[in-house]
Structure 1
Amino acid sequence: MRRYVLTGTPGAGKTTLLRGLAACGHTVVEEAATDVIAWAQARGEDEPWTRESFVDEIVALQKRRQLTAPTADAVQLYDRSPLCTLALATYQGRVPSSALTAEVERVTTQGVYERQVFFVRNLGFCEPTAARRISFRQSLEFERIHEDTYRAFGHELVDVPAGDLARRIATVEAVLPERRAE
């Protein structure tokens, strides 16, 4: 099984790209943080990212999704990974929890994700949403932390420049191994 990660700054179009890749027939795994935020906000919690357990909830959901993802296809594409969650903790000024540290250790020592990571570049703006309340300037700092985190763990960043969806899909597909015959 080859698992590839899409990462980058909030609002860069990772989810749109992931959905485009799914429409092309690729197996994809959705981002965990957005769902953790949405579930908490549906229960009336306005800013769940301020909660101490926030990062650990993301880590738990990421791990569950990775371990239960369909295994029929030889390639899977993930919207973020535990290294992104480590970047989030760094951005928030949090000391990584034991759960986060253990999960980063697991995925790095077991080589769960490919060394090549698709780094989806910012679009030149960051549109606020209920789950994304940072400015474009803040998103650029977050982007830098993601780059530094992945490089610190020896990953090769495959640049996915800003552009139309078709071009971004083509950039990713050019790197992926051919899918097995169906």
Structure 2
Amino acid sequence: MTPDDNRFFVLTGGPGAGKTTVIEALGALGYPTTREAGRGVIRDEAEHGGGALPWIDRQAFAERMFEWELRSYRQAERTEGPVFFDRGLPDTIGYLRLESLDVPSWMEEEAWRLRYHARVFIAPPWREIYGVDEERRLSWDVAVRTHAVMAETYADFGYDLVELPRDSVCARVEFLTAAAAAGRR
């Protein structure tokens, strides 16, 4: 356990479930937040002509995502108060599992060592808001499977999952901030 595990709150789930929109709304309210690794890596790789993209080299993509999450964790350690993470270290492990790729032992060790709050928020698949774009090319079926794998992965790492309601962004933010405040007491 780390001294920060009581103030680091993860929002996970499948793609297109509204996680990033909620994280951005929390950031607009002044809460420290992190950017999602997957989209960040895709943008960086595309901008620089790199090959660590999920449609080119899934293993390299996963390693870059994990490194991104490690940096996000380290940056969050230097902040005060609650921090809301747009995914966490176990998400990369979940991605590797989803893709039937080997999970390096060093990733598992780091995910056990660097902890988040025991309650992890998971955004359920939500067909009405799901969409694809240049960075998110996954089908609805893959989004649903990803949600299930993330739930299983976080449970395997000893986290309790709390489902984020299918509601407005404002209501989801209120739900998260209230749960985070209660969880820090």
Give the TM-score band, short-chain normalised: 0.7 to 0.9
Q: Tell whether the 8 Å contact from 2:112 to 2:157 is kept in structure 1 after alignment.
A: no
- Name 2:84's counterpart in structure 1: 77
**Scaled by the length of structure 2, what TM-score is found?**
0.86
* Structure 1 position 176 matched with structure 2 position 180: yes
- Name 1:87's counterpart in structure 2: 94
In terms of mean alpha carbon deviation, does 74-83 or 51-60 score higher? 51-60
For residues 112 and 52 of structure 2, what CA distance do their matches in structure 1 show?
Answer: 28
* Structure 1 position 116 matched with structure 2 position 116: no
List structure 1 segments (4+ residues) > 6 angstroms apart after TM superposition: none
How far has the Cα of 1:43 moved from its partner? 2.7
| 1:104–1:152 Cα change, 3 Å | same
For residues 174 and 15 of structure 1, what CA distance do their matches in structure 2 show?
Answer: 19
- Name 1:12's counterpart in structure 2: 17
**1:80-120 Cα distance to aligned partner (Å, 9 max, x none):** 0111111100111101024422322322xxxx201111111
For residues 31 and 125 of structure 2, what CA distance do their matches in structure 1 show?
Answer: 23
**1:24-78 Cα distance to aligned partner (Å, 9 max, x none):** 2211111112111111112345871131321111111111121123634221110
Structure 2: state its 5+ residue gaps. none
Q: Report the aligned-residue RMSD.
A: 2.0
Q: Tell whether the 8 Å contact from 1:59 to 1:103 is kept in structure 2 after alignment.
A: no
For residues 52 and 110 of structure 2, what CA distance do their matches in structure 1 show?
Answer: 24
Alignment length, in residue pairs?
175
**Scaled by the length of structure 1, what TM-score is found?**
0.88
- Name 1:166's counterpart in structure 2: 170
Equivalent residue runs for 1:8-157 within 5 Å: 8-44=13-49, 48-49=53-54, 50-51=56-57, 52-69=59-76, 71-107=78-114, 112-125=115-128, 126-157=130-161
Q: Tell whether the 8 Å contact from 2:41 to 2:65 is kept in structure 1 after alignment.
A: yes
Q: Secondary structure at the match of 1:169?
A: helix
For residues 79 and 71 of structure 2, what CA distance do their matches in structure 1 show?
Answer: 17
